[in-house]
Amino acid sequence: MVEMARRWVWASLAMVVLAGLVYQAISRQFSAPLLNHPEQTLVVHVSPGSHFQGLVRKLHTLSVLDRSILWRLYGRLAQPQIQAGEYRVEPGQTLLDVLEHMRQGRVELHPVTIVEGWTVSDLRRRLAAEPKLDQLTPDWSVDRLMAALDCEGCAAEGQFLPETYLFARGDSDLSILERAHQAMQATVLEMWSNRSDELPIDSPKALINLASLIEKETSLDRERAKIAGVFVRRLRLGMRLQTDPTVIYGLDESYNGDLTRTHLRTDHPWNTYTRHGLPATPIALPGRASLQAASQPELGEALYFVAKGDGSHVFSETLEAHNQAVNRYILEREQ
């Protein structure tokens, strides 16, 4: 009996020692950074239905983790849960760090930027060229797209807010369009609720339209409210807006970069040289600054402006002063 007791004690001690050695080995593995170089990063894609052992195999293939019986043992005991997606491994992160991100679904996010002044066609081409997005809408008509956004019958132009949006691999292009559309609706309603009392327009839709003209006329924040003021005063007086970007928009693909007098005289629903009031639809995607300017135009007397050629404009109160500015900044430039 004494001999059996001794054997049991020695066996128990051996098991304790073995367990301690296994624990130390696992601890060393878990506390070791996966990446050795301080500037190295790695993106790991976990497919739907993947499990821990599959992750170990992938990390081994990427030469950042040794395949060990310890991982098989840990997988069976802990049964760590991981979610599908892309995950970035940063320098200094251990396997436990990465597993925690995967458990929480803290996936890698990618930016896509909608640029102020783009058209809807520009936006759709940009999204169609993004390989990390699930492409649902490239073949959709504009009418089908707007119906999917609960805006059936709406003109698509101007309905998406220019900003940078983050998405995870596998998100759809439609999800970006939904977020941009909702952001535009929220922003324009905010601007409309704080609009100047003297605005000669009657709806948030018209505010987007006006803001799109401002967006295409200048990229300088300091000038947006001034240009808005010119347009608002012209609308109040019943003057035609006579803004070149509306003519160019109506020409669409037939425009070759050379705007002629014939173009200005050719009537179409966007030509503000031949028609009074705002064009038939917005002509671009206006950003927040242009929407703000449209809702709060700068007070003043100017009714005209002309580009100086350096991105800025000269504003004039009379046609005579405007013609002098045209002679100075356009005719001289042409010569």
Q: What is the pLDDT of residues 95-150, one digit of tens each?
A: 888 888 888 888 999 999 999 999 999 999 999 999 999 999 999 999 999 999 99
Give the pLDDT score at 94.
Answer: 83
Which structural domain, as residue segments, surrounds residue 123?
109-188
> Does the residue 76 lie in any domain?
no
**Position 97 in a domain:** no
**Domain check: are 279 and 153 in the same one?**
no
Residue of 37, 93, 26 whose CA lies nearest to 66:
26
Number of CB atoms found within 10 A of residue 71's CB: 21
Question: For residues 135 and 76, what is the distance between their CA atoms, to the nearest angstrom?
Answer: 38
- Domain co-membership, 274 together with 317: yes
pLDDT at 14 over 80: no
Band (42; pLDDT cuts 50, 70, 90) = confident
Give me the percent of the chain exceeding a pLDDT of 90.
Answer: 59
The tens digit of pLDDT for each residue in 281-334 reads: 999 999 999 999 999 999 999 999 998 888 899 999 999 999 998 888 876 666
Contact status, residue 267 vs residue 290, Cβ threshold 8 Å: no
**Last-in-domain residue among 188, 209, 235:** 188
Provide the residue type at 36 as one letter.
N
Percent of the chain with pLDDT over 70: 88
Contacts of 242 (CB under 8 A, 6+ apart): 272, 273
Residues 219 and 328 in one domain: yes
Are 202 and 330 members of one domain?
yes
For residue 304, is it within any domain? yes
Is 36 domain-assigned?
no
Look at the chain and report how many structural domains it folds into. 2
On average, the pLDDT of the chain sits at 88
- Same domain for 175 and 208, yes or no, is no
Nearest by Cα to 160 from 185, 139, 136: 185
Q: Do 241 and 305 contact (CB within 8 A), yes or no?
A: no
Asked whether residue 3 is assigned to any structural domain, the reply reads no
Q: Are residues 216 and 316 in the same domain?
A: yes
Q: What is the mean pLDDT of residues 243-252?
A: 94
Q: Which of 128, 153, 188 is the last residue of a domain?
A: 188
Q: Is residue 260 part of a domain?
A: yes
In the block, residue with structure tokens 């009537």: 267
Note whether 180 and 227 are same-domain residues: no
Mean pLDDT check: name the lowest of 47-51, 60-64, 105-109, 257-261.
60-64
In a domain? residue 74? no
Q: What is the pLDDT of residue 274?
A: 97
**In the listed set 169, 188, 207, which residue is the last one of a domain according to the structure?**
188
Answer yes or no: do 160 and 272 share one domain. no
Assess if residue 28 is contained within a domain: no
pLDDT of residue 96: 83
Which helix (H) or strand (E) is 260 found in, with range? none
Beta carbons within 8 Å of 156's beta carbon, 6+ residues apart? 120, 142, 145, 146
290 and 232 in a single domain? The answer is: yes
Give the tokens for residue 56. Answer: 């170990």
In a shared domain, residues 242 and 288: yes
Query: Quick one: 229 and 284 in the same domain?
Result: yes
Residue 38 pLDDT greater than 90, yes or no: no
Contact 266, 275 (CB under 8 A): no
In this structure, are 328 and 219 located in the same domain?
yes
